[in-house]
């Protein structure tokens, strides 16, 4: 019992010292294939789609997330703002998934253009591009 209480106390202490990240002005837009029913999604749902913890949109469409490469500044912003962790932590998460035989990360594209091309062509696709990118032919998703 004492051990459980000690563990709980340690968890609480660690939670209190955990660093809270300030929300930055979004430098990206979330986009999806035009056939996706949703126009807005809660942040946690977007995060779960990209981490493959949820495999479908709330409407039931199978999601096909696509990332930018890990050297992308836009991905760094997206990772912190939506996934709530830096790219290195997301990489560690994917290592755990891969080597536990559970999931593999979304495909990573080198540029906005490649993400846009993939999202336009792939039913159920969801991705993100820099805020200034043209979004013709895709749906822009508002994050609640």
Partner 1 sequence: MRFRPIFLTLALAAGLAPRGAAAQTDFVDRFSIHGAINMGYGKSDNAQAFGINKDGTTQYRAVVLQFGYKIDDNDRVVTQLLHRWNGNSPLNTIEKDFFPIWAFYEHAFDNGVKVKLGRAPLPRGLFNEVRFIGTLLPFYRVGRTVYGETLEQIDGVVVSKPWDLGAWRVETYGFAGGFDLRAVLADQNGTTVLNNRLENSIGTQVWINTPLEGVRLGAYLHSYQPTPKYTEPDSLRGHPTTTSMFSAEAVFQRAFVRGEFSRFQSEGHKQYGAWYAQVGVKPLSQLTVAAEYQEAVFRVEPGPLPPLMLPLSKELTVGFTWARSANVSFKLEGHQIRGYDYDTAVPTIIPPVGPPFVAGIAPATKTNYILASVSVAY
**Residues near partner 1, by CB under 8 A:** 3, 7, 10-11, 14-15, 17-19, 53-56, 62, 84-85, 88-89, 91-92, 95-96, 98-102, 104, 107
Comparison of 93 and 130: residue with beta carbon closer to partner 1? 93
3-state secondary structure of 37: coil
The residues pairing with 28 across neighbouring beta strands, listed in sequence order, are 130
Smallest gap from Cβ 60 to partner 1, in A, equals 9
| Token reading at 96 | 């755990």
| Token reading at 29 | 């837009």
Smallest gap from Cβ 9 to partner 1, in A, equals 10
Comparison of 102 and 144: residue with beta carbon closer to partner 1? 102
First to last CA, the chain: 42
Comparison of 2 and 132: residue with beta carbon closer to partner 1? 2
Distance from C-alpha of 73 to C-alpha of 18, rounded to nearest angstrom: 24
């Amino acid at each position: 019992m004492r051990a459980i209480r000690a563990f709980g106390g340690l968890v609480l202490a660690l939670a209190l010292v955990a660093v809270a990240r300030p929300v930055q002005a979004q430098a990206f837009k979330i986009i999806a294939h035009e056939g996706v029913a949703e126009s807005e999604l809660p942040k946690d749902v977007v995060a779960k789609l990209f981490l493959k913890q949820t495999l479908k949109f709330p409407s039931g469409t199978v999601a096909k997330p696509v990332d930018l490469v890990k050297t992308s500044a836009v991905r760094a912003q997206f990772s912190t703002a939506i996934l709530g962790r830096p790219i290195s932590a997301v990489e560690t998460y994917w290592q755990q998934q891969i080597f536990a035989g559970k999931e593999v990360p979304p495909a990573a594209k080198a540029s906005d253009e490649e993400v846009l091309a993939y999202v336009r062509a792939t039913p159920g696709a969801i991705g993100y591009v820099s805020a200034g990118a043209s979004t013709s032919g895709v749906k822009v998703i508002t994050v609640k």
